[in-house]
Structure 1
Amino acid sequence: MRITPHILHVAQPVEGGVARVVTDLVAAQLAAGLRVTVACPRGGTLTDALRTLGCTVRRWEATRSPGYRLPAEVRQLARLCGDVRPDLVHAHSAKAGLAARLAVRGALPTVFQPHAWSFEAAEGLVARVALDWERFGARWAARVLCVSEAERLTGVRAGITAPWRVVPNGVDTHRFRPEGDSARSGAGPLVVCVGRLCRQKGQDVLLAAWPEVVRQVAGARLVLVGDGPDADRLRAGAPASVEFAGTTTDTALWYRAADVVVLPSRWEGMALAPLEAMACARPVVVTDVDGAGESLPPGHLPSCLVPPDDPAALARALTALLLDEPLRAALGAQGRAHVLAGHDLRHATDAVSDVYRELLDLVTAQVVGPDEGRKCITT
């Protein structure tokens, strides 16, 4: 008898990079013939993208952060797991990882993918509680799936003992390519930042750096693509050379319009935006957070990697690239080749499937014996 595994993805948040990763994984898994269900809240971009793929979506009413509703969210997810009866649960980001591990408690193979550690996003007592949970909750993860070696090492240094696996992020190199339409763009050098408007992504640092860039590069313009909780604060006092483009369903249009793409994050696991920009053959400037160095080709170091929370260093890096067109072209070509070789989406989705296969083979072998187990699982 051959078994078609049933995968349950649990996702919160439902927009940005997490939504993109979940959508890409689901598309690949459905194409491979797996049964896939996704549990997630309403809102964001995720549900519509999944339904376009023909994926079964189950509503899981969960807030983005832990709070007084957590016990009810865990109970709802436990009931949902009972209804869906998955063979494996894959929980994405801190909130889903918290609720899914509490709901399942190791009764099913559970993959937890942090998408950047929760304790890095908090301070004081909240950070301590988040870290204590990650140390404790690791016992209920059959694999902790990190998107960079740096993210894994951050977990190790924080005292988290887990069965680790590193699968670098990948992007669709057909969707993100140099050829194609670009967003409307006026005259002057253009810097583009794509990301949720929030503290993590560091757009406030970019705006602090921007006056120095404009002083040295005549006509320079900055476009912030995305929305988020800091939108109003960032707009307040922003100069005329800064445009807020809001959300878009096709960020490739903005990457192609850019002379330089920047992401001044305060923390990450491995950000998707720089990979997408490099796939479009655009040079990038990123901050030296988890995954950044691993995502860049050697030719981009160190000029395209700056310390986080350092407006002066960020301004210098952006100015140097905007004033050097041949360097931008060279870095763009290097970036495209680098993503094709090491960060193509198929590499990432195949590696995740290998993790599933390994875990499901172990479960089947425990039930029917190792030889028959290898015959039963197909992905």
Structure 2
Amino acid sequence: MGPIVSTSATTGRDSAGALSGTPGGPGGRTPGTEVRTDVLHAVQPGDGGVARVVTDLVRAQRAAGLRVAVACPPGTELAAAVRAEGVRTYAWRAGRDPGPRLVAETRELGRLIRALAPALVHAHSAKAGLCARLALRGRIPTVHQPHAWSFEAVTGVTAALARGWERWAAARWTARLVCVSEAERRTGEAAGVRAPWTVIRNGVDTGRFTPGAPEGPAALDTVGGPLVVCVGRLCRQKGQDVLLAAWPAVTAAVPGARLVLVGDGPDAARLRAAAGPSVRFTGAVADPVPWYRAADLVVLPSRWEGMALAPLEAMACGRPVVLGDVAGARESLPPGHAAPCLVPPGDPAALAAALGRLLARPALRQTLGREAREHVLSRFDVRRTGAAVAELYRELAGVRGTEHREPMAQ
């Protein structure tokens, strides 16, 4: 696998501005006394892997002396997490999908950007990328990070419209597209998206995600048959319905096997109704680490991704993974792990076979888990990701922290 960052073009721009912020209510802050901001992160959704990626980024950027702010929906996982890091947070009341409030959401974000006058805006996921680029129209450097392409989530006319928008906006109003895997970049190029690209792979906090004994409720699940854990938003993208369809064949092959689905989401009720007695749902959890540590095997049968964060977290905890063979999955695995660990997306029979094979071979699971941990330590440390993003900001807008550091050796 290549380095954590690769770039297809160079774009240099200079921009600066003043930022104002005073403590606001529970939803964030409102403009007030004058301070300066280097980077504004515009984010929707405010939960899941995107929230964890943004939290890690702003933590590193604040530690490096960058003056960062986050605009995101109030009352979300992300809003709470970045406030806990001491980062200025502004309420942007945006829904996950385009809808009747799109114009109002775009205007609200535009007013916030004008008030804060950041040197650069980093928009995360489709909705923020849509609103930020409509609001700014290229007036200051705008980085868009899709975190998986929106047109993969839909079909028909909606998919065609999403592709058309990305082609149009990328060519005109995007200083840089940041993809989290080469496969995500290739998907965009195949869809006709043309813009300067930089691939910066996701990273995880390897000091937090470590092997160890589970604690709390997860510790209770270490007693009994082998435990399979799936961490992710309960939605069509993550493929938990495929996992539940595969599960009867798994328990037939491995009696006593148990499954825990960690997370919440729009499909929770439907998935609970389809689950058998050996399946447990935890709901949303603040910390997935105990569940990774409790697992004998971690699975994420996604239908599409950019590069999923949960498998990297699981591997950092020394756990083997089984993944849907979608964008970023192959790039995230150690050499030699594709055959036992990847399955075609949307294929319950193939998923059941892969899970059954690994559950029946504890020695192989131990080897795969050890190699996975070593791989993440060498390739996917979040400090590498943060350094690569900081270098991109310096290139596009001359943004530097008070503690300028050269990127880590790739």
Distance in structure 2 (CA, Å) of the matches to 1:63 and 1:378: 36
Partner of 2:21: none
Distance in structure 1 (CA, Å) of the matches to 2:296 and 2:121: 41
Deviation string for 1:192-215 (max 9, x for gaps)? 000000000000000000000000
Does structure 1 residue 207 correspond to structure 2 residue 240?
no
- In structure 2, which of residues 251, 270, 278 is the aligned counterpart of residue 241 of structure 1? 278
Distance in structure 2 (CA, Å) of the matches to 1:309 and 1:74: 35
| 1:96 partner amino acid | A
1:143-154 correspondence runs (5 A): 143-154=176-187
For residue 299 of structure 1, report the CA deviation from its aligned partner. 2.4
Partner of 2:337: 300
Distance in structure 2 (CA, Å) of the matches to 1:241 and 1:234: 13
Distance in structure 1 (CA, Å) of the matches to 2:198 and 2:47: 24
- In structure 2, which of residues 120, 143, 157 is the aligned counterpart of residue 125 of structure 1? 157
> SS state of the match for residue 274, structure 2?
coil
Q: Percent of counterpart pairs with the same letter? A: 64
Distance in structure 1 (CA, Å) of the matches to 2:274 and 2:377: 40
- In structure 1, which of residues 324, 341, 345 is the aligned counterpart of residue 382 of structure 2? 345
Determine if contact 1:87/1:109 at 8 Å carries over to the other structure: yes
TM-score for the superposition, normalised by structure 1: 0.94
| 1:351 partner amino acid | A
Partner of 1:266: 303
Does structure 1 residue 163 correspond to structure 2 residue 206?
no
Partner of 1:288: 325
| 1:57 partner amino acid | T
Partner of 2:69: 37
TM-score for the superposition, normalised by structure 2: 0.87
| 1:126 partner amino acid | T
For residue 5 of structure 1, report the CA deviation from its aligned partner. 5.8
Distance in structure 2 (CA, Å) of the matches to 1:161 and 1:180: 47
Unaligned residue ranges in structure 2 (runs of 5+): 1-15, 17-35, 406-410
- In structure 1, which of residues 275, 294, 319 is the aligned counterpart of residue 356 of structure 2? 319
For residue 238 of structure 1, report the CA deviation from its aligned partner. 1.1
Partner of 1:70: 102
- Following TM superposition, the consecutive aligned residue runs of length 4 or more in structure 1 with deviations greater than 4 angstroms are 376-379
Partner of 1:192: 229
Determine if contact 1:7/1:37 at 8 Å carries over to the other structure: yes
1:51-66 correspondence runs (5 A): 51-66=83-98
Unaligned residue ranges in structure 1 (runs of 5+): 365-373
Greater RCO (CA < 8 Å, at least 6 residues apart): 2
Determine if contact 2:58/2:68 at 8 Å carries over to the other structure: yes
| 2:269 partner amino acid | D
What is the CA RMSD across the aligned residues, in angstroms? Answer: 1.7
Distance in structure 2 (CA, Å) of the matches to 1:90 and 1:237: 39
> SS state of the match for residue 319, structure 2?
coil
Deviation string for 1:63-116 (max 9, x for gaps)? 100011111111111110111110000000000000001111111111100000
Does structure 1 residue 178 correspond to structure 2 residue 215?
no
Determine if contact 2:37/2:69 at 8 Å carries over to the other structure: no
Summarize the Cα distance change of 1:237–1:155 in structure 2 as closer, same or farther, 3 Å threshold. Answer: closer
Distance in structure 2 (CA, Å) of the matches to 1:49 and 1:337: 28
Determine if contact 1:299/1:331 at 8 Å carries over to the other structure: no
